[in-house]
């Protein structure tokens, strides 16, 4: 099943459960606007290359379209549509007044020089300039995009309209109107959720093992906070390799990140307290890593990692989805049958967009908050949303994903009906 079909299957399940108004359901099955375009870029060797770009504006009933832009060789329209739909539900679950959108460029940014990356980024903004803006659509970082790229985007847009518009993009560097706490926000938000979940499931952090697949911005910050709280991180994977602490003592994410930064690999890096190759690590493939016994499995990389093929072999008690769409619909059913608690992406990773919302607010007010203020407000949002979703789960006797969709859909419906739709 492809990514968009997956998202529609989840939507259908929740729509049936809450008896969603059929007219609203009909509208929510399609994006409002799809932009697909070519971006010609002059490469360093003087030749021109053309890259494919996308921006999908899924739904803006609750506010301007909002969502990241990913740079990935496998990015395509189907994936971007799915991710744009997820952003719509995500913003509604955490009740920020924004709609959903997503963008992408089919490119491996690791193969570009910094100059080429900048020209590509500025070309992307020129292609969509009439469709974005603080009141229309506000891009942000996603897979392989970062504050530097967001800074170029904000600058290009500002130059095009002739005055500074920091609120056109979130996830910017602090010097260009970024928010304190935005970089760590997705991991931080997920950590607040984990603490609530631990209370519900009566987990003792010191006796709880964690496996993290994906060690980028999201996976790292989450791992670091969980480690500080005493959780045992027993295995970590990035796109190039993985590491498993077979003694289950727990690994310090800082050491792993240090090795990744200095050697470009995490594989084989870990020895308690130091960073070196040693006899206590075990090399495992990403596939094996997902199937290792643990309490909490955290997919924090790309979509479609847990599928019909491996869902039956997952031994975790909880799957915390920090990636978008890491579990397919068929896999989800299998995990539910096995009574594995799946905390869905639209709740678990919503901390990123919540702090993007704060960043946008700060830009509009031209007044900036401290990191403590940001994190306090983020904690309030995540804790409240968790309990609202949990309540729906109990009410409908369903899984957390369907419960999260139920919360999101009723909020989107309320606004659409107030506008006379449905």
> Known catalytic residues?
102
Q: Which range binds ligand GLU by CB under 6 A, 49-57, 257-265, 326-334, 351-359?
A: 351-359
Query: Of the listed pieces 150-158, 196-204, 283-291, 345-353, which binds ligand GLU according to CB under 6 A?
Result: 345-353
Name the residue among 376, 374, 400 with its Cα closest to residue 387: 400
Q: What is the 8-class DSSP label of residue 104?
A: E
412 contacts 95 by C-beta, under 8 angstroms:
no
Q: Does 179 bind ligand GLU (CB under 6 A)?
A: no
Q: Is 170 in the site for ligand GLU (CB under 6 A)?
A: yes
Q: Give the list of residues 6+ apart from residue 384 with CB closer than 8 angstroms, or none.
A: 95
User: Residue 214 interacts with ligand GLU (CB under 6 A)?
Assistant: no
Task: Note whether 356 binds ligand GLU by CB under 6 A.
Answer: yes
Q: Which residues ranging from 305 to 344 are in contact with ligand GLU (CB under 6 A)?
A: 324
295 touching ligand GLU, by CB under 6 A: no
Instruction: List the one residue out of 200, 144, 167, 142 whose CA is nearest residue 349.
Output: 142
Under rule CB under 6 A, residue 352 binds ligand GLU: yes
- Token digits of residue 263: 């050697």
Is residue 157 within 8 Å of 69, Cβ to Cβ? no
Structure tokens that stand for 394 in this block: 């109990």
Our CB check for ligand GLU shows the closer of 82 and 225 to be 82
Told to check if 353 binds ligand GLU by CB under 6 A, we report: yes
CA distance 6 to 182: 29
User: How many alpha carbons fall within 13 Å on the CB side of residue 53?
Assistant: 20
Tokens at 60, concatenated: 């803006």
Q: Which stretch binds ligand GLU (CB under 6 A): 29-37, 203-211, 283-291, 346-354?
A: 346-354
Give the dihedral sign, CA 101/106/108/112. negative
- Residue list for the binding site for NAD(+): 186, 217
Can you tell me the distance from the alpha carbon of 393 to that of 211, in angstroms, rounded to the nearest whole number?
A: 25
Of the chain, the end-to-end C-alpha distance in Å amounts to 29
Q: Which residues are annotated as a binding site for substrate?
A: 66, 90, 356
Annotated binding site: 66, 90, 186, 217, 356
Q: Quick check: 242 binds ligand GLU (CB under 6 A)? A: no
- Asked if 236 and 215 count as a contact pair (C-beta separation under 8 A), the reply is yes
Instruction: Single out the residue of 31, 67, 100, 344 in contact with ligand GLU (rule: CB under 6 A).
Output: 67
**CA 292 to CA 10: how far, in whole Å?**
27
Closest to 261 (Cα-Cα) out of 290, 222, 220, 228? 220
Q: How far is the CB of 113 from ligand GLU (least distance, A)?
A: 25
Residue nearest to ligand GLU (CB): 68
Which one of residues 41, 112, 120, 140 is an interface residue with ligand GLU (CB under 6 A)?
140
Q: Should residue 217 be labelled a site residue for ligand GLU when binding is judged by CB under 6 A?
A: no
Instruction: Tell me which of 31, 64, 68, 109 binds ligand GLU, using CB under 6 A.
Output: 68
SS3 content of the chain, % helix, strand, coil (to 5): 50, 20, 35
State the nearest-atom distance from the C-beta of 38 to ligand GLU, in Å. Answer: 24
Q: List the one residue from 66, 260, 334, 411 that touches ligand GLU (CB under 6 A).
A: 66
Rounded to a whole number of angstroms, the minimum distance from the CB of residue 92 to ligand GLU is 13
Closer to ligand GLU by CB, 79 or 142: give it.
142
DSSP alpha helix (H) spans, 264-399: 286-290, 329-337, 345-348, 351-365, 371-396
The residues near 394 (Cβ < 8 Å, ≥ 6 apart) are none
Q: In which element (H, E) is residue 254 found? A: helix 253-263
- Cβ of residue 352: shortest distance to ligand GLU, in angstroms? 4
Spatial neighbors of 16 by CB under 8 A, at least 6 apart, are: none
Name the residue nearer to ligand GLU (CB basis): 214 or 241. 214
142 interacts with ligand GLU by CB under 6 A: yes
> Helix, strand or coil for residue 363?
helix
Report the site for ligand GLU in 103-132 (rule: CB under 6 A).
Answer: none
Which span (3-11, 188-196, 352-360, 401-409) binds ligand GLU, by CB under 6 A? 352-360
Q: What are phi and psi of 26, to 5 degrees?
A: -55, -45
Select from 31-39, 347-355, 379-387, 412-420 the region that touches ligand GLU (CB under 6 A).
Answer: 347-355
Q: Report the residue number, 20 or 140, with the smaller CB distance to ligand GLU.
A: 140
Number of residues that bind ligand GLU (CB under 6 A): 12
Query: Residues interacting with ligand GLU, by CB under 6 A?
Result: 66-68, 90, 140, 142, 170, 324, 349, 352-353, 356
């Amino acid at each position: 099943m492809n990514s968009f079909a997956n998202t529609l299957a989840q939507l259908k399940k929740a729509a049936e459960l809450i008896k969603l108004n059929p007219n609203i359901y009909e509208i929510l099955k399609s994006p409002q606007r799809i932009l697909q375009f070519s971006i010609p870029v002059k490469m360093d060797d003087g030749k021109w290359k053309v890259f494919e770009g996308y921006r999908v504006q899924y739904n803006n009933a609750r506010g301007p379209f909002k969502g990241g832009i990913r740079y990935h060789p496998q990015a395509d329209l189907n994936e971007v549509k799915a991710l744009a739909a997820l952003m719509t539900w995500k913003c509604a679950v955490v009740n920020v007044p924004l709609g959903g959108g997503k963008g992408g460029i089919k490119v491996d940014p690791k193969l570009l020089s910094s100059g080429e990356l900048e020209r590509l980024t500025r070309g992307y903004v020129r292609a969509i300039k009439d469709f974005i803006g603080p009141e229309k659509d506000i891009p942000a970082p996603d897979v392989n995009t970062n504050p530097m790229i967001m800074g170029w985007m904000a600058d290009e847009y500002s130059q095009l309209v002739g005055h500074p518009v920091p609120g056109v993009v979130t996830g910017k560097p602090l010097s260009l109107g970024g928010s304190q706490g935005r970089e760590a926000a997705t991991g931080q938000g997920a950590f607040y959720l984990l603490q609530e979940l631990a209370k519900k499931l009566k987990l003792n952090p010191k006796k709880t093992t964690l496996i993290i697949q994906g060690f980028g911005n999201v996976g790292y910050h989450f791992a670091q906070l969980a480690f500080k709280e005493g959780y045992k991180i027993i295995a970590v994977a990035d796109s190039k390799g993985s590491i498993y602490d077979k003694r289950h003592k727990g690994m310090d994410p800082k050491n792993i990140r240090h090795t990744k930064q200095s050697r470009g690999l995490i594989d084989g890096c870990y020895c308690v307290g130091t960073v070196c190759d040693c006899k206590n690590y075990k090399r495992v493939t990403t596939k094996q890593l997902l199937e290792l016994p643990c309490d909490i499995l955290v997919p924090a990389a790309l979509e479609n990692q847990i599928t019909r093929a491996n869902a039956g072999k997952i031994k975790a008690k909880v799957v915390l989805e920090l990636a978008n769409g890491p579990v397919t619909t068929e896999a989800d059913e299998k995990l539910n049958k096995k009574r594995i608690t799946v905390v869905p992406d639209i709740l678990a990773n919503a901390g990123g967009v919540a702090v993007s919302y704060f960043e946008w607010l700060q830009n509009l007010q031209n007044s900036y908050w401290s990191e403590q203020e940001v994190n306090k407000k983020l904690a309030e949002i995540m804790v409240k949303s968790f309990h609202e979703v949990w309540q729906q789960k109990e009410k409908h006797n369903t899984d957390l994903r369907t419960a999260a969709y139920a919360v999101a859909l009723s909020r989107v419906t309320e606004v659409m009906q107030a506008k006379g739709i449905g």
